Amino acid sequence: MKPGNHTFSVSEFLLLGLSEHQEQQPLLFGIFLSMYLITVVGNIAISLAIVSDPHLHTPMYFFLAHFSLTDLGLSSTTVPRMLVNIQAHRHTITYAGCLCQIYFFLWFIGLDVFLLAVMAYDRLVAICHPLHYTLVMSPRCCVLLVVMSLILAQAYSLTHTLLLAQISFCTDSIIPHFFCELLPLLKLSCSDTYANRCVLTYWGGALTILIPLLIVISYARIVAAIVHIPSASGKWKAFSTCSSHLSAICLFYVSAIGVYFIPSSADSASKDRVAAVMYAVVTPMLNPFIYSLRNRDMKSALKRLLSRTALQSP
Give pLDDT tens digits along the chain (314 positions).
444 434 456 788 999 888 878 888 999 999 999 999 999 999 999 999 999 999 999 999 999 999 999 999 999 999 999 999 999 888 889 999 999 999 999 999 999 999 999 999 999 999 999 999 999 999 999 999 999 999 999 999 999 999 999 988 876 788 888 999 888 888 888 888 889 999 988 888 888 889 999 999 999 999 999 988 888 887 887 888 788 888 888 888 877 665 555 555 545 667 778 878 888 899 999 999 988 877 888 888 888 888 887 766 66
Task: Give 225's Cβ-side CA count (13 Å radius).
Answer: 18
Domain carrying residue 128: 15-297
Residues 6+ apart with CB under 8 A from 259: 183, 272, 275, 276, 279
The answer to pTM > 0.85 is yes
Q: Does 1 fall in a domain?
A: no
Q: Does 163 fall in a domain?
A: yes
Q: Does 270 fall in a domain?
A: yes
CATH of the domain at 73: 1.20.1070.10
Q: Does 9 fall in a domain?
A: no
Q: Does 94 fall in a domain?
A: yes
- Quick check: helix, strand or coil at residue 5? coil
Question: Which residue type does 168 have?
Answer: S
Number of domains observed in the structure of the chain: 1
Torsion angles phi and psi, residue 294, rounded to 5 = -105, 20
Question: What does the DSSP assignment read for 95-157?
Answer: HHHHHHHHHHHHHHHHHHHHHHHHHHHHHHHHHH-GGGHHHHT-HHHHHHHHHHHHHHHHHHH
Is residue 115 within 8 Å of residue 207, measured between CB atoms?
no
Q: Does 313 fall in a domain?
A: no
- Quick check: helix, strand or coil at residue 32? helix
